[in-house]
A and B are shown apart, each in its own frame.
Chain A
Amino acid sequence: MAEVHVIGQILGASGFPESSLFCKWKVQIGSAWRVLQGDHEGQTQVDEPSDKPMANWCHPIDLHFATRGLQGWPKFHLQVWHQDLYGRNELYSYGFCHIPISPGSHEIDCVTWRPKGSLLEELKTQFIGGSSQLKNPDLVSSSAELYKLRTVSMGKIHLRLHVIVRNFDKYGVEF
């Protein structure tokens, strides 16, 4: 069985309209993959930066996978949420990011988007808060179904990941 280690951090986010953000993350894997060690989902701290408009999460990622095939290579599903001063959480955006395939260190910017509602829903979001959410958040990485959506761009999530692979050369995979 080939093994993949992913070690790194979800560094933070930038380019969002407000600060006081946190991120919910989850790793999606194919059927040939198994998580051996590490948490496959989590939620970062809520950061409100004092100077630059950039949330710093510094959330450690340490995952150990075993796999029988290349299909279904793990990917992150990321959701950025905003916590306002009353403590209410609202979804800001969705994003997904493949874990890089080549071993080595990678700095990744994950662009994100949010679903766009009708005019009435957008007005509600503007004045009352809250946002439209997807009924099935796994839609963010499904290529076949996204054509149904209308979305608005949001900011970027920054990750720094180091990938270590093992035993892939026994299967003839070249990195």
Chain B
Amino acid sequence: MNTKPTSFLVFINGAIEHAEVNDFDDLYLRFSYVIGKDWKICSGLEEGTTQIAHKSVQIGSKIVFNFPLEATFRSTNPFGWPQLVISGYGLDVFGNDIVRGYGTTHIPISPGRHRIRIPLFVPRSSSKFQQLLAWFFGRRPEFIDPKVIAFNAGREMTRVRSHGYIQVVFNVVTKDIEELGYRIESKHPSHTSQQQFDNNETPYKKVDTCTSDIDQYTQTFQPDETACWSADKTSNSLPSSSQASSLSLLSISSPPSLSIQTSLPSSALLVA
């Protein structure tokens, strides 16, 4: 008896490895998953808090968490794919608990092992005076519900400052997603031209697999071929920066609701 499955499962495990930040020495993270309405978390913690971690004088500028993540999701529809939302907090010089940064990534879709670097960003105060008050009283602008950063709506009102990264490792396995007719990988990986790589410009580019400094770039260790997008010849085409053998998947999970106390000044469009 072989009944067709009606839903698929995504099983992930992994860890929040470390944070690379320059401005401060200690950090703790709260994480949560934001999922669409067709999704359900079958097992695993849907939200949690890491330990309070400090930098080590000897090791350098990394704050190591090594915090385990494990979850199973069930769904009928890839829309609303889970996102991991991370919010970082710490103590400032006056002893107040302040927000250090938010970050979000989609859970990787292709099965395999993925290392993802999530940039951290923190809301900015509206003006220098507000910034001074915030620093003095310890009431920095923060999102009421960090899950807001996982959504599209309302982001245009937020002004942020990005600093630092969080390195996360995911191992992903899916079940029955092909049975439901979804193709998540291509049979024929396309080859990209590698001359467009310009390592000075961006940390998002993938590098050659085994020899690279794996802390700098994200890498995946998928056993099957990965699909890359080769540059086409039109004038505004985008050369894909993926390499034939490695593909990094970054997904940012949306944080819970966002409230911003800063207000945008009225802006006028200038047209020459």
Which of the four size classes fits the interface of chain A? 35 or more
Main secondary structure of the interface of B (DSSP, over half): loop
List, sorted by A's number, 15 A–B pairs whose CB atoms are closer than 8 Å. Answer: A7-B81, A8-B106, A38-B79, A47-B159, A61-B152, A83-B267, A104-B226, A105-B226, A105-B227, A107-B248, A108-B238, A146-B235, A156-B201, A162-B184, A164-B184
B121 touches A45 (CB 8 A): yes
Q: A52-B203, A130-B271 are in contact. Are A106 and B155 (CB under 8 A)?
A: no
A49 at the interface (CB under 8 A from B): yes
Residue of A nearest to B247 (CB): A105
- Report the bound CA distance from A22 to B264 in whole Å: 13
The docked-state distance in angstroms from the alpha carbon of A135 to that of B160 is: 30
Residue interface mask A92-124, B partner, CB < 8 A = 1: 000111101111111111111100010001001
Looking at chain B, what size class is its interface with the partner chain?
35 or more
Docked Cα-Cα span, A62 to B152, in Å, equals 9
**Known contacts being A50-B23, A162-B249, is A59 close to B202, with CB within 8 Å?**
no
A140 nearest in chain B by CB position: B236
Q: Which residues of A contact B (CB under 8 A)?
A: 5, 7-9, 11-12, 14-15, 22, 36-39, 42-52, 54-56, 58-62, 64, 83, 86-90, 95-98, 100-113, 117, 121, 124-125, 128-133, 140-141, 143, 146, 156, 158, 160, 162-169, 174-175
* B156 A107 Cβ-Cβ under 8 A: no
Bound-complex Cα distance A89 to B269 (A): 6
CA distance A169 to B181 in the complex (A): 9
Q: Knowing A62-B80, A88-B268 are in contact, say whether A39-B155 is a contact too (CB < 8 A).
A: no
The reply to whether A9 and B81 contact each other, CB–CB distance below 8 Å, is no
Taking CB atoms, residues of chain A closer than 8 Å to B118 are 58
Q: 19 other contacts beyond A95-B236, A98-B232, with CB at 8 A cut-off?
A: A9-B250, A11-B119, A42-B153, A46-B160, A54-B201, A58-B119, A64-B77, A87-B264, A89-B270, A105-B247, A107-B205, A107-B241, A107-B242, A108-B241, A160-B248, A162-B106, A162-B110, A164-B109, A174-B187
Chain A: which residue is nearest B107 at the CB level? Answer: A7
State whether A60 touches B109 (Cβ < 8 A): no
Q: Which of A55, A64, A141, A156 contacts B79 (CB 8 A)?
A: A64
Min CB–CB distance A139 → chain B (angstroms):
11
Q: Chain B residues with Cβ under 8 A from A129's Cβ?
A: 270
Q: Which residues 149-173 of B sit at the A interface, judged by CB distance below 8 A?
A: 149-153, 155-156, 158-163
Among residues 192 to 236 in chain B, which have CB atoms less than 8 Å away from a CB atom of chain A? 196, 201-206, 220, 226-229, 232, 234-236
| Choice from A50, A54, A55, A60 contacting B106 with Cβ under 8 Å | A60
Does B267 contact A89, Cβ atoms closer than 8 Å? yes
Cβ of B265 within 8 Å of any chain A Cβ, yes or no, is yes
A55→B108 contact, CB < 8 A: no
Enumerate the 9 nearest inter-chain pairs by beta-carbon distance, A residue then B residue, closest first: A104-B227, A130-B270, A87-B265, A43-B156, A102-B186, A56-B119, A56-B162, A100-B229, A45-B158
Contact of B159 (CB < 8 Å), options: A46, A96, A109, A113: A46
Instruction: Report the nearest A residue to B150, measured CB to CB.
Output: A60
| B4 at the binding interface (Cβ < 8 Å) | no
